[in-house]
Amino acid sequence: MKYAELVDGEAKTGELKSFLVDGENVAVTIRIPKNMRDAAKDAAALSGISFTSLVKMSLIEYLTKKEK
C-alpha cells in the first residue's frame, strides 16, 4: 500500500503514522541554509531529541495533517 492510497481511503491519523514509521531507513541528503540547520539542531537538543528525530517528527506532522 502507498501513502496516496491511505489518504484517498481516508485512513485514520494513527494508521498514517504507523505506515510512515514502518519500513527500512534510507539516507537522504538535503540542502538547507547553515543557520537553519544550526537552529534546528539547537532546538532539538533543547528538547532532548536529535536533529534527525526533529526532521522525522516534522515530516510525520506534515504528512498526517488533515486538509481543511
Distance CA 68, CA 19 (A): 22
What is the percent of the chain where pLDDT is above 70? 97
What is residue 68's predicted lDDT score, i.e. its pLDDT?
A: 47
| Sequence spans of domains, the chain | 3-64
Nearest Cα to Cα of residue 63 among 18, 1, 23:
18
More confident residue, 56 or 11: 56
pLDDT tens digits along 38-50: 999 999 999 999 9
CA–CA separation, 26 and 60 (whole Å): 16
What CA–CA distance (Å, rounded) separates 61 from 8?
18
Per-residue pLDDT of 3-34, as tens digits, reads 888 888 888 999 999 999 998 999 999 999 99
